[in-house]
Amino acid sequence: GMDGSPLAKGINPEEQEEFFIDILDKEEALSTLSITVVGASGDLAKKKIFPALFALYYEDCLPKNFIVFGYARSKLTDEELRNIISTTLTCRIDKRENCKDKMEQFLKRCFYHSGEYNSEENFAELDSKLKKKEAGKLSNRLFYLSIPPNIFVDVVRCASMKASSAYGWTRVIVEKPFGRDSESSAELTRCLKKYLTEDQIFRIDHYLGKELVENLSVLRFSNLIFEPLWSRNYIRNVQFIFSEDFGTEGRGGYFDNYGIIRDIMQNHLLQILALFAMETPVSLDAEDVRNEKVKVLRSMKPLELEDVIIGQYKGHNKGGRAYPGYTDDSTVPKNSITPTFAAAALFINNARWDGVPFLMKAGKALHRKRAEIRVQFRHVPGNLYKRNFGTDLDKATNELVLRVQPDEAIYLKINNKVPGLGMRLDRSDLNLLYRARYPTEIPDAYERLLLDAIAGERRLFIRSDELDAAWSLFTPLLKELEAKKIAPELYPYGSRGPVGAHYLAAKYNVRWG
């Protein structure tokens, strides 16, 4: 009851705070966070998850008692796991510092259990190992499913039945792909919910953990000068661009079953679009933000086949080097028509965005690596300086660019007088280059997301109705592309992609930035 609380005793606020900190410390001393990386022998675990956990440990973001377990079928000892992951841990936070000691302390907290993904018995063994290492009774358990999607449900079944925390929370981070269309995604959700509540499921989209994607809301809602322009009245079009300068080498088996639309557009780019276009949420609470995102997604106009173009890269010789085509990969069928490039024009049927083209472009094996949001503004009505631009007025419109990666930046293209006695205008950038403005290194997306999952913060994870809305938009298109066996336009490895993307943009009077 209230009687024993400091409030009832009339303690002053400072003492009250100490009292609570005291309780928290005691609680922390008696509780353990255990993180089990399922699929620990795999690529993502090694490349992203263990390094992110180490970075969090390095930054003192993990609770006092934490342990990390790797789980997979491969037969490894604790030592062998430690050797594997130690090769990818980095001292990114302070490169001058030798963080060998910290690494060793971290690795001491890492263990391994070998088991099958569908064996309740093997998960029960994991449970007893966890219990032995957990200090006190209270344990919070986080499972990270870094495995192929066909075994998600097996693992969730076994883990929830045999290795859930008895005192404390149990949460599961699920990696994409979340199905490959509306039906399979709904089926996955249904199966997961047999064992877990929606609150326990953390569907990850690592683009939401990227610094500039998180900043999108800050830019919009904490600056007076952007939000008033954020509508069809001032914005001519918006572009979401993703490109990589390498192909699907090594991941062809996975990729061929999905293609670029499922791999990048339906999730990463659409998530960014939702954040870009949503109305102001009631608050920054996870449910408020996700409610707004769902609303935008549900307001989108169905995607038409004629508003989409697809491509696939072919082999190419450049600078004396031979670059392989998509179908040269031994894990890809020779006659595959899976797109490795796609461009699409999307529209939002609401008062704010009616008629504004939202263009997406995503591709592998292109000439450069970048992820950007580009906002092209309308012409200045009755522009006094029309004649000073020459004939191409399109080149004189303002453009706001958020460069998500690499070399994070936000810049605004403005028209400016070239200094001198004449009256000549040119376009210059107001440039916020992160590297120049912020000396500390930007954390990896997985660090932010793991930290949020540990804290129970769901804002950057995908709720099931959001996922449904995203699939509803893309599923009919994907089915039509597949039923009609639409052949992708071939483009050379390392090029700018198929010209079809330019015609698609031109149809809406847009030029790609």
By annotation, the residues acting in catalysis are 268
CA atoms of 266 and 183, how far apart (whole Å): 15
149 binds, among ligand BG6, ligand NDP, none (CB under 5 to 8 A by kind): ligand NDP
Q: How far is CA 57 from CA 80, 89, 96, 309, 496, in A?
A: 21, 11, 18, 45, 41
Tokens of 511: 């030029």
Residue found under tokens 């001292």: 91
146 binds, among ligand NDP, ligand BG6, none (CB under 5 to 8 A by kind): ligand NDP
Task: Give the nearest distance from C-beta 371 to ligand BG6 in angstroms.
Answer: 6
Sheet holding 138-145, edge to edge: 110-114, 66-72, 31-38, 138-145, 170-174, 201-203
81-119 residues labelled b (16+ CB within 10 A) or e (exposed): bbebbbeebebbeeeeeebeebbeebbebbbbbbbebee
- Site track 192-231 with ligand BG6 (rule: CB under 6 A), x = hit: --------------x-------------------------
Helix (H, G, I), strand (E, B) or coil at 284: coil
332 binds, among ligand BG6, ligand NDP, none (CB under 5 to 8 A by kind): none
CA-based R_g, the chain, Å: 25
Among 44, 412, 442, 486, binds ligand NDP (CB under 6 A): 44
Query: For ligand NDP, which is the closer residue by CB, 326 or 358?
Result: 326
Q: Contact between 372 and ligand BG6 (CB under 6 A)?
A: no
Query: For ligand BG6, which is the closer residue by CB, 134 or 256?
Result: 256
Task: Give the nearest distance from C-beta 199 to ligand BG6 in angstroms.
Answer: 24
Among 93, 151, 442, 486, binds ligand NDP (CB under 6 A): 151
Among 127, 134, 175, 256, binds ligand NDP (CB under 6 A): 175
Query: For ligand NDP, which is the closer residue by CB, 73 or 220?
Result: 73
CA atoms of 35 and 226, how far apart (whole Å): 41
Query: For ligand BG6, which is the closer residue by CB, 107 or 269?
Result: 269
Residues 342-371 that bind ligand BG6 (CB under 6 A): 371
Nearest to 289 by CA among 390, 213, 196: 213
If phi > 0 it is left, if psi is from -120 to 50 it is alpha, else beta; for residue 324 that is: beta
E strand map for 434-512: 489-492
DSSP 471-483: HHHHHHHHHHHHH
**Three-point CA angle 261, 404, 475, nearest 5°:** 15
Choices 2-10, 42-50, 84-92, 154-162 (CB under 6 A): range interacting with ligand NDP: 42-50
Among 263, 292, 399, 408, binds ligand BG6 (CB under 6 A): 263
Choices 6-14, 16-24, 35-43, 335-343 (CB under 6 A): range interacting with ligand NDP: 35-43
CA atoms of 340 and 344, how far apart (whole Å): 14
73 binds, among ligand NDP, ligand BG6, none (CB under 5 to 8 A by kind): ligand NDP
For binding to ligand NDP (CB under 6 A), which residues are involved?
Answer: 39, 41-45, 72-74, 117, 146-149, 151, 175-177
Note the residues at the interface with ligand BG6 (CB under 6 A). 206, 244, 263, 371
